[in-house]
Amino acid sequence: MSWEEGDLHGRHVSAAALARTAITWTPERPHGQVRIRDYTCECRPVVYELCQSGGVTFIRKMTRKGKEATIEEYITRSGVEVHTVWRRLLDLA
Protein backbone atom coordinates (compact mmCIF):
# COMPACT_ATOMS: atom_id res chain seq x y z
CA MET A 1 0.00 0.00 0.00
CA SER A 2 1.33 3.38 -0.95
CA TRP A 3 0.86 4.99 2.50
CA GLU A 4 3.37 2.52 3.95
CA GLU A 5 6.21 3.37 1.62
CA GLY A 6 8.96 5.00 3.65
CA ASP A 7 6.81 5.24 6.78
CA LEU A 8 7.73 3.64 10.07
CA HIS A 9 4.07 3.37 11.03
CA GLY A 10 0.78 2.79 9.31
CA ARG A 11 -2.32 4.89 9.78
CA HIS A 12 -3.87 5.52 13.18
CA VAL A 13 -7.43 6.17 14.32
CA SER A 14 -7.57 9.49 16.17
CA ALA A 15 -9.62 10.11 19.31
CA ALA A 16 -11.46 12.85 17.40
CA ALA A 17 -12.44 10.41 14.63
CA LEU A 18 -13.73 7.92 17.22
CA ALA A 19 -15.76 10.66 18.90
CA ARG A 20 -17.34 11.69 15.58
CA THR A 21 -18.13 8.14 14.49
CA ALA A 22 -20.86 6.34 16.43
CA ILE A 23 -20.14 2.62 16.18
CA THR A 24 -21.99 -0.21 17.89
CA TRP A 25 -19.48 -3.03 18.31
CA THR A 26 -20.68 -6.61 18.59
CA PRO A 27 -18.76 -9.72 19.69
CA GLU A 28 -16.78 -11.48 16.97
CA ARG A 29 -18.78 -13.96 14.92
CA PRO A 30 -17.40 -17.03 13.21
CA HIS A 31 -16.53 -16.39 9.56
CA GLY A 32 -15.09 -18.54 6.86
CA GLN A 33 -11.90 -17.35 5.28
CA VAL A 34 -11.40 -13.63 6.04
CA ARG A 35 -9.58 -11.28 3.71
CA ILE A 36 -8.10 -8.18 5.35
CA ARG A 37 -8.50 -5.29 2.89
CA ASP A 38 -6.96 -2.52 5.02
CA TYR A 39 -5.71 -2.07 8.58
CA THR A 40 -4.32 0.39 11.09
CA CYS A 41 -0.90 0.42 12.71
CA GLU A 42 -0.21 -2.22 15.35
CA CYS A 43 1.83 0.12 17.57
CA ARG A 44 -1.29 0.95 19.61
CA PRO A 45 -3.28 -1.37 21.87
CA VAL A 46 -6.35 -1.10 19.60
CA VAL A 47 -6.02 -2.22 15.97
CA TYR A 48 -8.73 -1.93 13.32
CA GLU A 49 -9.09 -4.04 10.17
CA LEU A 50 -11.38 -3.65 7.18
CA CYS A 51 -12.37 -7.24 6.35
CA GLN A 52 -14.36 -9.25 3.81
CA SER A 53 -15.70 -12.76 4.15
CA GLY A 54 -18.27 -14.51 2.01
CA GLY A 55 -19.39 -11.27 0.35
CA VAL A 56 -19.79 -9.49 3.71
CA THR A 57 -17.70 -6.42 4.55
CA PHE A 58 -17.04 -5.56 8.20
CA ILE A 59 -14.65 -3.74 10.51
CA ARG A 60 -12.81 -5.77 13.12
CA LYS A 61 -11.53 -4.11 16.30
CA MET A 62 -8.86 -5.88 18.36
CA THR A 63 -8.15 -4.53 21.83
CA ARG A 64 -5.00 -5.96 23.39
CA LYS A 65 -4.25 -5.99 27.11
CA GLY A 66 -1.06 -7.87 27.86
CA LYS A 67 -1.37 -11.31 26.30
CA GLU A 68 -5.17 -11.11 26.09
CA ALA A 69 -7.13 -9.72 23.14
CA THR A 70 -10.79 -8.83 22.76
CA ILE A 71 -12.17 -8.92 19.22
CA GLU A 72 -15.32 -7.06 18.24
CA GLU A 73 -16.92 -6.28 14.89
CA TYR A 74 -18.96 -3.61 13.19
CA ILE A 75 -21.13 -5.23 10.55
CA THR A 76 -24.24 -4.04 8.70
CA ARG A 77 -26.15 -5.16 5.64
CA SER A 78 -24.60 -2.36 3.61
CA GLY A 79 -20.99 -2.68 2.50
CA VAL A 80 -21.16 0.97 1.43
CA GLU A 81 -21.98 1.99 5.01
CA VAL A 82 -19.05 -0.06 6.35
CA HIS A 83 -16.67 1.66 3.90
CA THR A 84 -18.08 5.07 4.91
CA VAL A 85 -17.45 4.31 8.60
CA TRP A 86 -13.93 3.07 7.75
CA ARG A 87 -13.14 6.33 5.94
CA ARG A 88 -14.46 8.33 8.90
CA LEU A 89 -12.27 6.37 11.32
CA LEU A 90 -9.21 7.18 9.22
CA ASP A 91 -10.24 10.85 8.73
CA LEU A 92 -10.56 10.27 4.98
CA ALA A 93 -14.21 11.32 4.71
- The pLDDT tens digits of the residues spanning 13-49 come to 988 888 888 899 999 988 889 999 999 999 899 999 9
This prediction's pTM: 0.86
The residue range of the domain holding 77 is 2-89
Number of domains composing the chain: 1
Confidence of residue 2 (pLDDT cuts 50, 70, 90): very low
- The pLDDT tens digits of the residues spanning 47-87 come to 999 999 988 999 999 999 999 999 999 988 888 999 999 99
Let me know: does 58 contact 26? Beta carbons within 8 Å.
no
48: closest CA among 65, 60, 30, 35? 60
